Amino acid sequence: MSIESVNFLKSKGVKFLRVTFCDNANAIRAKAIHIDILESNLDYPVSITAAQQAFPIMYDAVVSQSGLQPVGEIWLVPDWTTLKILPYAPTHAIVMADMVVADRSESGSSSWSLCPRAFLKRAIAAAKEAGIEVMAAFENEFVLLDNVADRIIPTDDTVFAATLAMDLNYKTIDAIADALIAQDIIVERYYPESGPGQQEISIRYDRAMAAADRQILFRETVRGVAIERGLKASFLPKIFADRAGNGCHVHLSLWQDGKNITGDGSGQVSAIALSFIGGILQHLPALMALTTPSTNSYRRICPHYWSGAFTAWGYDNREAAIRVPSNPILPSPTHFELKTSDATANPYLALGAVIYAGIDGVRNNLNPGSPIDVDPGNFSEVELSRRGISRLPQNLGEAIDRSSSDRLLLDALGPELSRAYLAVRRAEWEAMKEMELEEEVKLLLERY
Ligand code: GLU
Ligand code: MG
């Protein structure tokens, strides 16, 4: 970032730069700095209190078991490669930030142990050490709603891929796509999903860090454009009982020396990808505290809802936690997707944890078993156990318990981050575990 870039932002009419971060509850937050004083504050534009990473999603109050308090200042250092002007709020720009602490004795700073981006950087480095580069994309489902108070009115009530929903929503969808493209995000496909008002727009994969940054931009953009058009958008996993939930599947591919090594060259998953999948499936009950981390998430994870409710993998199997899509043209497969994931997940923490689990699989040559080519939801208990498949945790409390005893995950997060993260999610579980869907949706609809 230089004076030329500041002048460029000024020439575009930008007044504020939102220095943005994502907290342990996956609320996207920013402090903004005025463009007139940016030049003299480029390195350390804004700061937050350490307690900021101890807030649950319900309210801004410190969770006491988090190990954090409103003492200690954390500086948000922009990663200037992520700078974008916001198409839906064009007098504001956004930049993603790393969290650092000042070194008291000398001028300078060092990374904060609770920084989510730093966690993902460590995971990427661990993968590199194992000779793997991970590419990823978050594939979001979300709903568009009329902007009315206290009532949930979806913009359509159609079936999957209904062209009627396209006609009803195309102006909003086009505006979202335009805004994504203006932020250098490649838009791939769009279709109305199965639920009321439910939409899916897929975007191009990228290196893991860029993919996680894009997940923040994606959520911000969908909501920003919806607001601009007098609507509401929500990524909350389950809004309507007995209708399709909103997934946020994580697509992954493994690379070595610039070459995709996910497939074996003859239509099957490569040995290395197979053990990576083995690692994810082995740790999945614990990972869910990060990939499906809200009380609401578990209303979505149900058999027969295509949401990945079992520790199974399979080719083109939409009921398996890991689906390996196949292509008619080789090389195939090129990637696989984790379906047991939603947009209440902090993308840096979720992706970082998934990478650590995959690398554990590679290091220990974990075998995920045979691919499953039927719906595991139709297996009897006996059949499930014969095949070594289990039903994944059915509530957040269970997933937190599993993660609290997963050594790999705890070591990867480190003592401070794991303590604060799990304390935040545990506080959410305690506060919301008895809620009925309606009350929970009222609280969370506009948080995610
Ligand atoms: N809506 C489903 C979910 O909750 C996914 C449907 C699909 O396969 O795209 O994950
Ligand atoms: Mg979908």
Nearest-angstrom CA–CA distance, 149 and 147? 7
Residue ranges per domain, the chain?
A: 3-112, 121-444
CA nearest ligand 1 atom 6, residue: 306
Question: For position 331, what pLDDT does the model report?
Answer: 85
pLDDT higher than threshold 90 for residue 297? yes
Query: What H or E segment, with its residue span, contains residue 226?
Result: helix 208-228
| Distance (Å) from CA 167 to ligand 2 centroid | 19
pLDDT higher than threshold 80 for residue 2? no
Pocket test for ligand 1, best of 193, 199, 235 (most atoms within 8 A of CB): 193
Cβ atoms within 10 Å, residue 433: 13
pLDDT higher than threshold 80 for residue 8? yes
pLDDT higher than threshold 80 for residue 1? no
Q: What is the mean pLDDT of the chain?
A: 96
Question: For position 73, what pLDDT does the model report?
Answer: 95
**What letter would DSSP give residue 197?**
T
Quick: pLDDT tens for 184-201: 999 999 999 999 999 999
Ligand having the closest approach to the CA of 342? 1
Nearest to 420 by CA among 146, 87, 74, 166: 74
- Quick one: pLDDT band at residue 327, thresholds 50, 70, 90? confident
Share above pLDDT 70 across residues of the chain, in percent, rounded to a whole number:
100
Pocket test for ligand 1, best of 242, 318, 339 (most atoms within 8 A of CB): 339
Quick: pLDDT tens for 363-372: 999 999 999 9
Quick: pLDDT tens for 365-392: 999 999 999 999 999 999 999 999 999 9
pLDDT higher than threshold 80 for residue 443? yes
Task: Tell me the helices (H) and strands (E) count for the chain, helix number first.
Answer: 13, 17
Ligand having the closest approach to the CA of 338? 1
Pocket test for ligand 1, best of 138, 301, 304, 307 (most atoms within 8 A of CB): 307
CA nearest ligand 1 atom 5, residue: 306
Question: For position 107, what pLDDT does the model report?
Answer: 86
- Quick one: pLDDT band at residue 215, thresholds 50, 70, 90? very high
Question: For position 403, what pLDDT does the model report?
Answer: 97
Do the domains at 3-112 and 121-444 have one common CATH topology? no
State if residue 237 touches ligand 1 by the CB under 6 angstroms criterion. no
Question: For position 377, what pLDDT does the model report?
Answer: 94
Residue with tokens 């929903």: 165
pLDDT higher than threshold 90 for residue 305? yes
pLDDT higher than threshold 90 for residue 441? yes
Sign of the CA dihedral running 403, 407, 408, 414: positive
Question: For position 185, what pLDDT does the model report?
Answer: 98
Question: For position 4, what pLDDT does the model report?
Answer: 81
- The DSSP bridge pattern shows strands 259-260 and 92-102 to be unpaired
Q: Are 400 and 426 in contact (CB under 8 A)?
A: yes
Question: For position 435, what pLDDT does the model report?
Answer: 96
Cβ atoms within 10 Å, residue 216: 21
Strands (E), 23-68: 28-34, 46-49
Quick: pLDDT tens for 89-133: 999 999 999 999 998 888 899 999 999 999 999 999 999 999 999
Looking at per-residue confidence, does 5 or 315 come out higher?
315
pLDDT higher than threshold 90 for residue 178? yes
- What secondary structure does DSSP assign to 353-364, as a single string? HHHHHHHHHHHT
| Distance (Å) from CA 247 to ligand 1 centroid | 5
Q: Distance of CA 345 to CAs 174, 223, 231, 297, 418, Å? A: 26, 17, 23, 10, 15
| Distance (Å) from CA 193 to ligand 2 centroid | 6
Quick: pLDDT tens for 130-177: 999 999 999 999 999 999 988 999 999 999 999 999 999 999 999 999
| Distance (Å) from CA 309 to ligand 2 centroid | 15
Nearest-angstrom CA–CA distance, 101 and 53? 14
What homologous superfamily does CATH list for 121-444?
A: Glutamine synthetase/guanido kinase, catalytic domain (3.30.590.10)
Question: For position 18, what pLDDT does the model report?
Answer: 98
pLDDT higher than threshold 90 for residue 395? yes
- Quick one: pLDDT band at residue 5, thresholds 50, 70, 90? confident
Q: Which CATH architecture has domain 3-112?
A: Roll (3.10)
| Distance (Å) from CA 342 to ligand 1 centroid | 10
Spell 257-266 as b/e; 16+ CB within 10 A means b. eeebbbbeee
- Quick one: pLDDT band at residue 409, thresholds 50, 70, 90? very high
Question: For position 247, what pLDDT does the model report?
Answer: 97
